[in-house]
Copies of this chain bind each other. A is one copy, B any other.
């Protein structure tokens, strides 16, 4: 009887499939490929599989207790950690894929420049077919950045800001350990010390119990009026009501949110109307870029080889900690 892998992804090219077949072969397993529109077929196959490579809590829920490893092709695995009942096997290993750093970093550079260069205001002028005097703008060059989260996204953001002449890049992370590309990194427990001097705050935190409303009303109040906030992690990290109040009253210069709570945002939600806010519908970590998909497949295949050798998986998530 073969040992099987169920793979349910929309982005795989023939080259990706060949790569997976080769790794599976070395690991002594057989891959079965499905796309998300083949849910029923994938779920049926999954019944005799020990590995699932997908990004679907629903598909995972239909897996048997014999599933040993779920490789999630997304970075954010909070849906799987918040609700352990999605795993029939309580000891099932969970890995994630953090190959989004580059594309999310490009998104962060884009919205940082849009905020600093006041694009929301210019776009409003242009929509009215108007012309405008030059508004006072700010620059990445010589500016200071505070990055909440120093993982794959933070590192790629820091690298790009540095390349554009950023004067100072401060990181805040759980451990506070030094990370190349950052001028300094502190434990996130000291967040409140840093908020009063924030120029641009870039948040790329995972969705864990500790990060929920980490930027709450009291902390938003500590930010200076010329601060900009960018969030590409999880919408739950920001208390949205005081953020909206601060934006609308001009107590903050602006914000760019690619993530919010809930998603999709309901049509009557006050975030839609907030002042100097750039909203994008959770698209910064797009899986349509070749290099992002390549990294995703490479990470899975590398762990698949480790799995075949009974070695620890590199991208293993602590299901209690949430990342």
| Chain B residues, Cβ within 8 Å of A137 | 103, 283, 286, 288-289
B109, B264, B291: the one contacting A109 at CB < 8 Å is B109
A227-267, CB < 8 A from B: 263-265, 267
Q: Are A281 and B126 in contact (CB under 8 A)?
A: yes
Give the distance in Å from the alpha carbon of A288 to the alpha carbon of B134 in the complex.
8
In the assembled complex, the CB of A61 is this many whole angstroms from the nearest CB of chain B, namely: 23
**A169 interface residue, CB < 8 Å from B?**
no
In the assembled complex, the CB of A213 is this many whole angstroms from the nearest CB of chain B, namely: 23
**A1 interface residue, CB < 8 Å from B?**
no
Contact-residue bracket for chain A: 35 or more
Q: Are A265 and B131 in contact (CB under 8 A)?
A: yes
Give the distance in Å from the alpha carbon of A100 to the alpha carbon of B274 in the complex.
32
Q: Are B132 and A283 in contact (CB under 8 A)?
A: yes
Known: A106-B139, A136-B288, A138-B289. A123 touches B123 (CB 8 A): yes
Give the distance in Å from the alpha carbon of A137 to the alpha carbon of B160 in the complex.
19
A-B contact pairs, 5 of them (CB 8 A): A102-B141, A106-B139, A129-B265, A132-B281, A135-B283
| Chain B residues, Cβ within 8 Å of A280 | 119, 122, 126
**A84 interface residue, CB < 8 Å from B?**
no
Q: Are A110 and B107 in contact (CB under 8 A)?
A: no
**A308 interface residue, CB < 8 Å from B?**
no
**A194 interface residue, CB < 8 Å from B?**
no
